[in-house]
Structure 1
Amino acid sequence: MAETREFAASIGQRLLWLMDRYRGSAGALNEPMTWRLRGPLDIGALSAAVDALIERHESLRTAFLMRDNQLLQVIKPPASAGLAPETVCSGAGEQEVLAALEAETGSRIDIGEGPLRIRLWRLSPTDHILCLNIHHLAMDRRSATVIADELAMLYSGAALPPSGWQYAAWAEWQRDRMSGARLAELRHAWTERLQHVQVPALRQVSEAAAETGPEPDCVLGERQVSGLQRLAADVSAGLFAVTLAMFFALIWARTGVREPAVASVFDGRDRPEVADTVGFFEHLVLLRASVRADQPMTDLIAAAQAEIDFAAANGLPLHLLPPAAARLGGPDGARRIDDVVFSHIVCLDEPVEFSGLRLDHVPVSLERTEERFGLRVLFAEYPGQLVGMFHCAPKVMPSWAAGFGGVFSRLADELVERPSATVGRTTLGAGLRRV
């Protein structure tokens, strides 16, 4: 009979656990996956697929325990998820089910018991809503793709390829790698890189001012995106480097900070054995730039790509930086290095196909980003479209971010038309400097 096993939590899990305790709201670290299943659903096959998925991935049956000031992963033996008929609410109205879904995804998962709650609602014999509500300690963005793909394959009866490492094995490998001489080498390299950088200032404002703040989101269309992709290719960079360089230029133009630094979320799957492993691999790293008015935007983009490449190859999580480097200065003193977070994600938006069923994602409201960081900027890259989103913590509204969406859209147009433009000759330098 399989027994419960205990392993030390990974470096990232320890930080996330602290964030959950001290900076999270009730469902702040929930990562729900919700689908509407239209068609004749085989509940027995779905239940068996869920159970097989949980057996395959230890992270989906891993609880967490604090003992002697050490956070432990407690891996439980495989067991049925209990997707039984009593979890199916026959005759429930759609609004009632959607309200129940919102309540489910917004309530805290007791990670001491396990990371996964599963709910299935029945609207009709051919209409169901499935929710896999998973704690962030057990999954990340890549994990969601793995879970969806493998659940669909298991439901259809397909055989899955052999699994790679389990998450606990990777966590042990990471601990060995982030220790001793290698850790000292990384800390020295990052300390040298961060000597003169500054984190952009965030300022507290009244609730009324925060509520009437700018409308920052922006959507770049196919013409703009294809033009920016050509620009990136010309300097051997990716679209992430383009958006990052644009953001650095905005910070320079609005604050005068010539060597800005922002945190960014990176995927830590630096071993091929964990390419399809479910678990929390993401971590925050620091990206910095040196911005000048006479600098061509293409040079800034190339430098941003070099910064991304360095961070990927030398990915020291922020909380492992030496204390002297963990709070970066500004004109008014030291600031948290994760106050400002900039991320760029690629969304392939490929539909999940269940045998004989039509699947639609069910959106849920998760007010959580502002619980973690002071300011987060996220660019989501879709085929032919780039969507920029801007999230502030309550009562935080940096003046330099006013008109974010419009600025990025105009700057994108200028870069497509004049790729050789210098930073100071763009919209930023011409009309928006030092607000």
Structure 2
Amino acid sequence: MTEVLVNDTEPVEHALSQGQRSLWLLHTMAPGSSAYNAGGAGRFRPGPDLPVLTRAVRAVVRRHDMLRSVFVENDGVVRRIVRDEREHARLRVVDLGDADDGELHRAVTAASREPYDLSGRGAFRAVLLRRPHDAVLLLGTHHIASDATSQWLIWRDLMDAYEAYAGSGRGPLWYPAHTGYHDHVAREEDLVASPRGARMREYWRSVTDGADAVQLPLDRPRPAAPSYHGRTVARRVPAPLTRAVREAAARAGVSPFAHLIGAFQVLLHRYTGQHDFTLVCPASTRRRQSAEVVGYFVNPITVRARFGPATPVTEVIAEAAGQLRGGMARAACPYEHGAFRVSMTMVPADRLGGRMQQVYDHEVEVGGRLLSYFEVPHLEGQCDLSVEVTEGADTLTVAFRYDTDLFEPATIEAMLGHFLTLTEDAARRPHEPAGRLAMVAADERERLLALGGAR
């Protein structure tokens, strides 16, 4: 292995993928929105060595050209322009003094929600918010430049670089990259123009024709133009329920995500009364040759749910599993899915294995410091409701991200509680009709019945 060095003397221009072009359009519609702000944060105890961290950030930006890219539109054509890392490898440091944990979390959240100037400063930021005895590092991106795997890649490489500079003082030894995001764009263009791509688009038409997007009941009227303002309600799933979901999925011969999306479809059916509807699942289009590339490798796939008067939960879950398999096999081809208002995705925290999962589940030592995961809101307000399930080694975390123009916080809190209760009952009684699954706990049901004078 050799240390990767990049010395760009002239900016390099690249075309955008179809997904990136869609994100650019959304950005131009609401440039001040944080709906497509991605990224993650980690807490260092004690705070990191500032010169070492500065060098580590610079090394990561040098390694991944997407992090030193800007996006510029000329004559209706948007191009990605790769610049020298010295223009984009700045580490911003914010001293918070003796701020308490609440103030720290608010400061990190505010930094994560700052809008991106994609044509000026680019789609990446590194912010260190420090107190006397610890500090939180935010590594943020606009979604146009990254996906979930990219976030783990950025953090993995940051950890490697920090340890290298803290130890020997020399840079990390990384394998040189033999492919880049521009190669992915070229492969996508070839697929779209091919007979195989045409067959994939025909499949998507067969899924979506005749179905309506799910329409949740709203707390407030939909505004004429969306503001893309959102918030998140998240809960760590209790360990017994996590085990129950995994065991039920194994018995049914499906993935835990198929079980969860089936339960979510039941919840949507119960909330809306719709019997035939679609929702969207963002799916990775990343292939082996792009395993080390930071970029936006995502295409949404459509999953359709149909409910009869007594459709059993097993049938809903089995159908969801089949559609997920069929959709993933065709996810590489982008298609016109139209506007969607509800989505669901699952992010395995162990996708890179080793220390990355340990950071999420516990903490690890990095260059003489302890580093642990720090929850930070991201990707809020993209649609009416987006559900993200993060899977750790022994845990599941469910986040409901919602449009604050449409919903009150109490509504989403209740909906998340209903989802977890329904998921538990689906694992326990999978052969029951979907309409008979419990959505509230037994004690809450008793209270509601008492309020209604039903006993």
- 2:266 counterpart SS class: helix
Name the structure 2 match of 1:266.
Answer: 283
* 2:11 equivalent to 1:4: yes
Name the structure 1 match of 2:192.
Answer: 178
**Cα offsets for 1:126-156 (capped at 9, x unmatched):** 6444333322221121111111111111222
* Residue in structure 1 matching 2:391, options 348, 358, 381: 381
* Residue in structure 1 matching 2:371, options 343, 359, 373: 359
Name the structure 2 match of 1:345.
Answer: 347
Shift of 1:18: 1.2
Name the structure 2 match of 1:296.
Answer: 312
Distance change (3 Å), C-alpha of 1:103 and 1:21? same
How do residues 120-131 of structure 1 correspond to structure 2 at under 5 angstroms?
120-121=128-129, 123-124=131-132, 127-131=134-138
Distance change (3 Å), C-alpha of 1:427 and 1:39? closer
- 1:153 counterpart SS class: helix
Q: 2:291 and 2:257 mapped to 1: Cα distance? A: 21
Contact 2:217 / 2:272 at 8 angstroms: preserved in 1?
A: no
Structure 2 unaligned spans of 5+: 1-7, 165-171, 222-231, 351-356, 440-444, 446-455
How do residues 87-102 of structure 1 correspond to structure 2 at under 5 angstroms?
88=93, 92-94=97-99, 101-102=108-109
Contact 2:42 / 2:137 at 8 angstroms: preserved in 1?
A: yes
**Cα offsets for 1:297-343 (capped at 9, x unmatched):** 2232121111111111111666x32xxxx45xxxxxxxx3x112122
* 2:50 equivalent to 1:47: no
Name the structure 2 match of 1:211.
Answer: none
Contact 1:165 / 1:274 at 8 angstroms: preserved in 2?
A: yes
Shift of 1:240: 0.7
Name the structure 2 match of 1:230.
Answer: 247
Shift of 1:92: 4.2
**Cα offsets for 1:11-43 (capped at 9, x unmatched):** 111111111222464433332433332347443
**Cα offsets for 1:228-280 (capped at 9, x unmatched):** 212211232111101111122233334343222101111121x2011121111
Greater mean deviation of Cα atoms: 5-14 or 184-193: 184-193
**Cα offsets for 1:373-418 (capped at 9, x unmatched):** 02223333344443433343234359x9894234333333333333
How do residues 386-397 of structure 1 correspond to structure 2 at under 5 angstroms?
386-397=396-407
**Structure-1-length-normalised TM-score:** 0.81
Matched residue type, 1:281: F
Q: 1:216 and 1:357 mapped to 2: Cα distance? A: 30
| Aligned positions, number | 403
Contact 2:96 / 2:104 at 8 angstroms: preserved in 1?
A: no
Name the structure 2 match of 1:333.
Answer: none
Matched residue type, 1:118: A
Matched residue type, 1:377: V
Contact 1:221 / 1:384 at 8 angstroms: preserved in 2?
A: no
Distance change (3 Å), C-alpha of 1:250 and 1:46? closer
* Residue in structure 1 matching 2:432, options 421, 424, 435: 421
Q: 2:51 and 2:68 mapped to 1: Cα distance? A: 21
Contact 1:218 / 1:409 at 8 angstroms: preserved in 2?
A: no
* Residue in structure 2 matching 1:286, options 299, 302, 313: 302
Contact 2:148 / 2:347 at 8 angstroms: preserved in 1?
A: no
Q: 2:421 and 2:109 mapped to 1: Cα distance? A: 37
Name the structure 1 match of 2:330.
Answer: 314
Matched residue type, 1:47: T
Contact 1:9 / 1:72 at 8 angstroms: preserved in 2?
A: yes
- 2:316 counterpart SS class: helix
**Structure-2-length-normalised TM-score:** 0.77
Name the structure 2 match of 1:117.
Answer: 125
Q: 1:40 and 1:401 mapped to 2: Cα distance? A: 36
* 2:175 equivalent to 1:161: yes
Q: 2:144 and 2:281 mapped to 1: Cα distance? A: 18
How do residues 327-346 of structure 1 correspond to structure 2 at under 5 angstroms?
336=339, 338-346=340-348
- 1:380 counterpart SS class: strand
Shift of 1:195: 2.2
Distance change (3 Å), C-alpha of 1:203 and 1:289? closer
Shift of 1:81: 5.2
* 2:141 equivalent to 1:134: yes
Contact 2:46 / 2:134 at 8 angstroms: preserved in 1?
A: yes
Contact 1:83 / 1:118 at 8 angstroms: preserved in 2?
A: yes
- 1:369 counterpart SS class: coil
Distance change (3 Å), C-alpha of 1:116 and 1:417? closer
Q: 1:203 and 1:2 mapped to 2: Cα distance? A: 55
Distance change (3 Å), C-alpha of 1:422 and 1:148? same
Q: 1:397 and 1:135 mapped to 2: Cα distance? A: 25
Contact 1:217 / 1:404 at 8 angstroms: preserved in 2?
A: no
Q: 2:189 and 2:283 mapped to 1: Cα distance? A: 18
Q: 2:237 and 2:185 mapped to 1: Cα distance? A: 38
Q: 1:40 and 1:254 mapped to 2: Cα distance? A: 46
Shift of 1:218: 6.0
Greater mean deviation of Cα atoms: 166-175 or 419-428: 419-428
Instruction: Please provide the CA RMSD for this pair.
Output: 3.3
Q: 1:90 and 1:375 mapped to 2: Cα distance? A: 35
Q: 2:273 and 2:241 mapped to 1: Cα distance? A: 27
Q: 1:44 and 1:226 mapped to 2: Cα distance? A: 44
- 1:79 counterpart SS class: helix
Name the structure 2 match of 1:275.
Answer: 291
Shift of 1:66: 0.6
* Residue in structure 1 matching 2:416, options 386, 396, 405: 405
